[in-house]
Amino acid sequence: MSGKRISPISNKALKTVADDGFYQEQELPLSILNDFESAAKETRYEISHNTRRVYQSSFGIFVTYCESHGLSSLPADPRSVISFIGHQKDIYQANSGPQLSTQTINSRLAAIRFFHIQSGSPSPTEHPLVIRVMRGLMRNQNRTVADYDQQPIMYDELELLIQTIDERNQNLTKKRDKAILQLGFQGGFRRSELANIKVNHLSFLRDKLKVRLPYSKSNQQGQREWKVLPKEEPFSAFDAVKEWLSAAEIKEGHLFRSLTRDGNQIRDYQITDTHLGKGFLRGDDIYQLIKRYCNKAGLDPQYYGAHSLRSGCVTQLHENKKDHLYIMGRTGHTDPRSLNHYLKPNE
């Protein structure tokens, strides 16, 4: 072993390790530096790209609040967090009227917790008084918050949307957008899952389309997960996806690509990392696409969005007399209680 020694790679991180009772070397040998840094890079995958983006935005709001009052945001005093909760709970959203939901405030606290853990600092969100405040907020029935979820897109709504797509002049755009809607609906995909599907994830069999999901919200460790989509179901995605692939002449890479402004050609495609590159649709692109078609079809975009496809899949299968286990197999849910949140049967 080389005799050269280096100081601890991250003094604050290693000090935290020591404070937690773990053994700490006085110095680390230079020979393991590359190994340490190689492993440390894996932390960029510990949460999804979208979650990281939301956390950065939410923590930025907390930082701005702290700076405006001369408070430290990292590390933060639990009393600063409680004051932040008081400020956030009384905010009225300018466009929609209702106050920020408890879920939104919880998301911002999750961001505070995440960045404290990242820095090796105890999270103030774990303080008992912060927990008590949030517990009371969740039980407060006097706040004016939005009391509706996105409505499900079912057979009738999907037919309207497809008719709206068919009114377009660009053949390539029509084929792509119908494939997005029909695959999203039949498979109950989240928009991020739709955006991440690649050609090699698809298997066209005699009577079904199988879609492999390397990762999903409920499958963060990359376990084997497939969605099996029957060809003979109403609004099956089988033919729609095949026609899109044929028209776009896509053989590999992301399934859903960006198109030129005139809608007649796919843009140059390049992928450099899991979430970096160009020429393919992101989750937000799919969200905006569905919103636009809902608006054109006369479905109020305030109540319909990308989430409506997943909710519609669950609700339609329920109305088709499929049991919970069958529906969970389609959507990838692992907890029936989560499935019930998506189920919005007609009265």
| pLDDT digit string, tens, across residues 15-40 | 554 455 677 778 888 898 888 888 88
Q: Could you give the CA distance from residue 2 to residue 16 in angstroms, rounded to a whole number?
A: 27
Cα(78)–Cα(255) distance, integer angstroms: 46
Distance CA 101, CA 92 (A): 10
Count CB neighbours of 27 within 10 A. 9
Q: Is the pLDDT of residue 63 over 80?
A: yes
Mean pLDDT, residues 59-70 taken together: 96
- Going by pLDDT thresholds of 50, 70 and 90, the confidence category of residue 57 is very high
For helices 78-89 and 128-139, what crossing angle results, to 10°? 10
**Which token pair is 132?**
């008590």
* Residues 312, 318, 320, 325, CA torsion sign: positive
In this predicted model, what pLDDT tens digit does every residue of 250-265 receive, in sequence order? 999 999 999 998 888 9
* Spatial distance between the Cα atoms of 232 and 270, rounded to a whole number of angstroms: 35
pLDDT at 345: 56
Q: Does residue 29 or residue 73 have the better pLDDT?
A: 73
pLDDT at 217: 52
Pick the residue with more confidence: 283 or 7?
283
Chain mean pLDDT for the chain: 84
pLDDT tier at 247, thresholds 50, 70, 90: very high
Residue 202: helix, strand or coil by DSSP? strand
What 3-state DSSP class applies to 208? strand
What pLDDT is stored for residue 52 in this prediction?
Answer: 84
- Which segments within the chain are labelled E, that is strand? 5-6, 28-29, 202-204, 208-212, 226-230, 270-271, 277-278
Q: Which of 5-19, 156-170, 308-322 has the lowest mean pLDDT?
A: 5-19
pLDDT of residue 338: 66
pLDDT mean over 147-167? 87
More confident residue, 272 or 29: 29
pLDDT, greater one: 301 or 234: 234
Q: What is the pLDDT of residues 80-116, one digit of tens each?
A: 999 999 999 888 765 556 788 888 899 999 999 999 9
Phi, psi of 210 (to 5 degrees): -105, 135
With tokens 């998301």, the residue in question is 107
pLDDT band at 10 (very low <50, low <70, confident <90, very high): very low
- pLDDT at position 223 is 59
Q: What is the pLDDT of residue 170?
A: 92
pLDDT over 50 at 4, yes or no: no
Per DSSP, 98 falls in state S
- What DSSP assignment string belongs to 255-283? SSB-B-TTSSSBPP-EESSSS-EESB--H
Angle at 223 between CA 218 and CA 224, to 5 degrees: 110
What strands lie across the sheet with 202-204, from one edge to the other? 202-204, 208-212, 226-230
Domain ranges of the chain: 5-45, 49-139, 155-342
Mean pLDDT of 193-220: 84
Given a contact cutoff of 8 angstroms between Cβ atoms, the answer to whether 187 and 229 are in contact is yes
What are the pLDDT digits (tens) for 287-339? Answer: 999 999 999 999 887 788 778 899 899 999 989 998 888 888 888 877 766 66
User: What tokens appear for 16 in the block?
Assistant: 């935290």
Q: How confident is the model at residue 7 (pLDDT cuts 50, 70, 90)?
A: very low
Select 155-342's CATH number: 1.10.579.10, 2.60.410.10, 1.10.30.50, 1.10.443.10: 1.10.443.10
Say if residues 216 and 328 touch (Cβ distance below 8 Å).
Answer: no
41-45, 52-56, 205-209, 249-253, range with the lowest pLDDT? 41-45
CATH number of 49-139: 1.10.150.130
Task: Name the 3-class secondary structure at 101.
Answer: coil
Whether the predicted pLDDT of 128 surpasses 60: yes
